[in-house]
Structure 1
């Protein structure tokens, strides 16, 4: 799914990094990328991308100004990784739900400590890979054994995430997931998403009823929808446009908390709903995935400029 240059970045060990460095932010360890063409910040907890800033531009991701960087606490903003289930366990398909032993939403990957696998750098791109071995250490929350490998690719053209799940157990593995991307806007009322027109969606705020989208998606208060679509999208805000190109996805989640829910959210200013939205590349709703022993699936998204 790469949209980067043909010349692969060179794999490097920590002492050889030119653009990447370790940094402690709050109580968490992070990797900071300072490339001449872009900057990025990536936490090991949750494999959480918090920032991507191309040269001479504002951050392409939204982070809550009240986010807290503490062990075991989900970070509000950026791109949280929801895995190996998405949303409320009770709203997942029976095959997914039967493995979950907690009421917590969005899985354990977003608060787990991931392992650094590789850093590759070139004059045009930086690629970082992290892994999570979901084994018996997570038995209190989930039954299964799977490996999650997440590769981030940064370039002047944009940023790319590729999350590959491999089933390491003998029995089939059903799971749901999402790349929970927070995007900034200067005015949610003047923001729209094109590419979902004529798609069917589940309106979770209206008894999970199925509805059909007509034209672009606009925001008028709280929005929480699971679209049955994995098509490329354009997010248009007063400050510019972003194109999201998904891979391995047949569902897209669109979310904004609106004023009432924003007031109840943790690490989220009451008025912040006016300046953000979430467009999540997902395998959610009926788009959950099943892997037999040794099989893999990759969910990915490339975030770039609108063509």
Structure 2
């Protein structure tokens, strides 16, 4: 998914990093990127990106004003990594569900501590890789052994994520996942998603009924849909547009809590639903994946300019 022929140079020692620095935010450790062309903030807990902004531009991601940065607590906003299952465990396919030993939604990766693998930098780009070894340490919530490696690629042209899962177990492993991207808008009721027209979707708010999308996706209140599409998307808001291009995905989740659910959500201001929307690159519902021993799968998204 590389968007440029320039490859950031290897830098093994933090002392040699030119643009990347450690920072403690709340109670969590983060990497802050201060590049002349862009800025980014990435937490080790959850491999959670909370900020990406090219110079002299507003943040391309939405982060709740009430977000809390505490061990074991998912951060509200940015791009949470939902892995190795997405959503309610009971709504996953049987092959995925049988490995899950908790009622908690969205997997354990978003609150686990990931390991820094590499930082590469040059005058044009920064690339950061983190890993999570899902081994017996997680046996109380999930059965399996897998390695998750996520790479973040930042440049003035956009922000790219690639999440690669490798099955290290001795039997086939089924899993679901999503890159749960929160995007900002000045008015969600005047925003729309292009590229999902005429695709089928599951309306989770209407007894998980299958429906057909006609034209753009608009937001008129709570929205929670799993689309059977991995096509490139354009997100249009009153202030502009973004293009989302996915890899390794045949499903897209579109979500906004609306006013009633927003009032019940943790770390989420009651009126914040008006200023955000989620468009998630996923392997969800029937788009779950199965890996044999040693096999890998990469789920990726490029958030770029239209």
Q: Distance in 2 between matches of 1:156 and 1:208?
A: 40
Q: Distance in 1 between matches of 2:219 and 2:7?
A: 40
Deviation digits for residues 76-106 of structure 1, max 9, x if unmatched? 0000000000000000000000000000000
1:14-163 equivalences under 5 Å are 14-163=14-163
Q: Distance in 2 between matches of 1:6 and 1:194?
A: 29
Q: Distance in 2 between matches of 1:33 and 1:55?
A: 12
User: How many residues are aligned here?
Assistant: 305
2:161 match: secondary structure: strand
Moved over 6 A (4+): none
Unaligned runs of at least 5 residues, structure 1: none
Cα deviation, residue 115, structure 1:
0.1
Q: What's 1:11 paired with?
A: 10
Q: Distance in 2 between matches of 1:234 and 1:55?
A: 22
Query: Structure 2 length normalisation: TM-score?
Result: 0.99
1:167 has 2:183 as partner? no
Query: Structure 1 length normalisation: TM-score?
Result: 0.99
Q: Distance in 2 between matches of 1:14 and 1:220?
A: 47
Q: Distance in 1 between matches of 2:118 and 2:205?
A: 41
1:132-281 equivalences under 5 Å are 132-281=132-281
Q: Distance in 2 between matches of 1:150 and 1:205?
A: 31
Cα deviation, residue 11, structure 1:
1.1
Unaligned runs of at least 5 residues, structure 2: none
Q: Distance in 1 between matches of 2:202 and 2:6?
A: 42
Cα deviation, residue 58, structure 1:
0.1
Deviation digits for residues 9-38 of structure 1, max 9, x if unmatched? 011121100000000000000000000000
Cα deviation, residue 241, structure 1:
0.3
Cα deviation, residue 7, structure 1:
2.1
Deviation digits for residues 144-201 of structure 1, max 9, x if unmatched? 0000000000000000000000000010000000000000000001000000000000
C-alpha RMSD of matched pairs (Å): 0.3
Deviation digits for residues 102-132 of structure 1, max 9, x if unmatched? 0000000000000000000010000000000
Cα deviation, residue 237, structure 1:
0.1
2:21 match: secondary structure: strand
1:253 match: secondary structure: strand
Q: Distance in 1 between matches of 2:222 and 2:159?
A: 28
Cα deviation, residue 226, structure 1:
0.1
Q: Distance in 1 between matches of 2:15 and 2:190?
A: 47
Deviation digits for residues 259-303 of structure 1, max 9, x if unmatched? 000000000000000000000000000000000000000000000
1:75 match: secondary structure: coil
Cα deviation, residue 258, structure 1:
0.1
2:264 match: secondary structure: coil
Q: Distance in 1 between matches of 2:158 and 2:63?
A: 18
Cα deviation, residue 2, structure 1:
1.2
